[in-house]
Chains A and B, each alone.
Chain A
Amino acid sequence: MKGLKNTLFVGFLVAFTLVFAGLNEAKAVDVTTAAAVQTSAVIAAEENTNEATANAAEEKHEEAAAHEGAHEKFNPAEVIKHHVKDAYSWDFFEMDGKAVGFNLPCLVYSPKLGLSCFSYAKIKEHGTEYEGYSIDHLTHKITREDGEKFYDISITKNVVSLLISAFLLLFIFIGVARKYAKNPNSAPTGFQSLLEPLILMIQEDVAKPMLGKKYLKFLPYLLTLFFFIWINNLLGLIPGGANLTGNTSVTAVLAGVTFFCIMAFSNKHYWGHIFAMPGVPKFVLIILTPVEILGIFIKPFALLIRLFANILAGHMIILTVVGLIFITAEMSKGLGIGTAVFSMVFGVFMFSIELLVAFVQAYIFTTLSALFISEAVAEHHHEEAHH
């Protein structure tokens, strides 16, 4: 049991680094996507002006009218996008057309102007700006009118959610680890009883069969991965929660750490199998080697996409089912009430499925990470037996 305690402790260190890596990485990706969106918006705007300069004023008027109309008429795509995306404020619900929730701090660093820190409330309204920063109401990102280069490192909804889950994990696991240290050979009590089967499941069903003798080296990472993803999946399912694991930045960091593990612990057999698969004719190698090299990067990329898309799809399905009520209610009241009954039943069903998916996706991410790492660290003694 002492090994288990050590394992848990190292797990925390990894969790902490992971969180900070997540903070940095998430922002870096956010900035790049923001830049991409901005450039595309600029291109679109240029095209517009080229096409119909005369109609520009008229079009703008129409656009404004459409924007106003969107507030009255239910727009499912907008609502879903708003719910699954990262934001500068944590809104729980909407009342009388106003969002109820917290405004989070915005941190913006510009190489020329230095660091500015302000509440999102200061730039929330259309047309307001603080130290030249304002919100682009199309992309919902911080922009500057004068085009000065800056990095957005705001504490967004996802970052807050990440910190909450990190503290939750630390709180749960330090308590449990202490209990193991205190009475190593007694029956588990309290939270231990919930976690012990899960820890043993990862140890016995995932780490040991995949990694063999070296399992103890990777067990801390696998346990951290499993509990981090699982807790965040569950936190995302709470109504009003942030969609953290359905964010490419977060899953990219998780997959990146696995990629780093594969690279750091890979041995010569692994590289031998990539560049010159033993027992394969030379002319086949011309095709096989590039495919294998691509495979190095596709594996973590598939991990990234799988977790992100599964969680995002789950959120979207539930939102669509609920949104169906409002779409039909706009047609007729009776139809809306009828759909509400159907949507509630189906929504609860989808929620139960999502609870399962939250667990299964955490398990799959851990299992596949273990599988990919085991491929990299395996000693190929079966080679001689075959040839």
Chain B
Amino acid sequence: MLLEVANLALAYAGAGIGAGLAAIAAGLGVGRIGASALESIARQPEATGDIRTNMIIMAAFVEGVALLGVLTCMLIVFK
């Protein structure tokens, strides 16, 4: 019984830590994309439209992986 509770607690802790790690990784990734995109826009303001579209696409790729991680964590909690 006690072991079961401990296991459950560990599962919840794992889910929380996992979601946090996914958020950190996505934050780093999207942050770098945003920083470089802003730099390029500052260098070449006439290419703003193209850069913005590509920035959104790249951010979506990074975010997709992070969301996969968060979803796994959610499955642990809600299963």
Contact = CB atoms under 8 A, between A and B. Distances in A.
Contacts of A302: 61, 64, 68
B53 A77 contact: no
| Chain A: number of interface residues, binned into ranges | 10 to 19
- State the majority secondary structure of interface residues on A: helix
Contacts of A313: 67, 70
A117 interface: no
B64 A306 contact: yes
A310 interface: yes
Interface in B26-68: 49, 53, 56-57, 60-61, 63-64, 67-68
B71 interface: yes
A364 B67 contact: no
A263 interface: no
6 contacts: A77-B77, A205-B53, A209-B53, A313-B70, A364-B56, A364-B60
A306 B62 CA distance: 10
A310 B68 CA distance: 10
Interface string A309-332: 110010000000000000000000
- Shortest beta-carbon contacts, A-B, top 5: A309-B67, A364-B60, A306-B64, A302-B64, A309-B71
Contact of A205 (B49, B67, B70): B49
Interface residues of B, number: 14
A305 B57 contact: no
A210 to B, nearest CB: 10
Contacts, number: 37
Contact of B60 (A81, A209, A368): A368
Interface of B: 49, 53, 56-57, 60-61, 63-64, 67-68, 70-71, 77-78
A364 B61 CA distance: 10
B18 to A, nearest CB: 14
A204 B71 CA distance: 34
Nearest to B56: A364
Contact of A77 (B56, B63, B78): B78
Contacts of A306: 60, 63-64, 67
Contacts of A205: 49, 53
Nearest to B49: A205
A204 to B, nearest CB: 10
Contact of A364 (B57, B68, B70, B78): B57
A371 interface: yes
Given A306-B60, A363-B56, A81 B78 contact: yes
